[in-house]
Amino acid sequence: MMKKNLLRRFVILSVALGAVAGCIDLTGPRVNQPRLLSCPTSETLSASSLLDPLLGGVVSVAGSSISVPANALSLPSIVALTVPASNKMEIDASVIGIEHAVFGQPVTVTIDYGRCAQSSIDGRRLSVWYLDPITGAPKENMHGVDDRANRKITFTTDHFSGYAIAY
């Protein structure tokens, strides 16, 4: 009888704690949380190029590009740009073989959002956000200059990661 009561109390306490935990937001305040721009595509496109540190170079795919200036890289590196199949308007930029590439000079990144419906961008102030590599949630505002006429947004960065357009 005592074991049944103890088990019942444990089950009730577990359910109550689960309910309370489901109501607590452990990620911090959500003041003005950005919303990622929805522009679905089922196709993944990518490009890469071996860039020389003294010359730099450009890697581009699907209208998006990475421009690496001279002296930004410390050694010859393969720079890759991917526009993944996604519901978001996102890209992934990387230096092959280097998990967290950091540059000696700012690198310019342009994201083409031409595939987005006009109604999804009308009246919205767009910016680029660095995405948390684990959750995919917007983590840091990279800002950017929005060229509405050409439907591209450009920003500079000193590191590569996943980025997405938000409003």
Residue ranges and CATH numbers for the domains of the chain are 38-166 (2.60.220.30)
At 4, the amino acid letter reads: K
Query: Looking at 42-99, which runs of residues are DSSP E strands?
Result: 45-51, 57-61, 64-68, 77-83, 86-88, 90-95
- Asked if residues 109 and 160 have their Cβ atoms less than 8 Å apart, the reply is no
At residue 30, the pLDDT reads 52
Write the pLDDT tens digit of every residue in 86-95.
Answer: 999 999 999 9
DSSP-derived secondary structure for 12-39: HHHHHHHHHHHH--TT---TT---BPEE
What is the rounded average pLDDT of the residues 36-59? Answer: 97
Pairing of strands 57-61, 64-68: antiparallel
The pLDDT > 90 percentage for the chain reads 78
Task: Identify which has the larger pLDDT, 166 or 13.
Answer: 166
- Measuring CA to CA, which residue among 118, 157, 112 is closest to residue 139? 157
E strand or H helix at 7:
helix 2-23
Task: Identify which has the larger pLDDT, 72 or 101.
Answer: 72
What is the rounded average pLDDT of the residues 117-139? Answer: 95
pTM value is 0.80
Confidence of residue 139 (pLDDT cuts 50, 70, 90): very high
User: How many CB atoms sit inside 10 A of residue 63's CB?
Assistant: 16
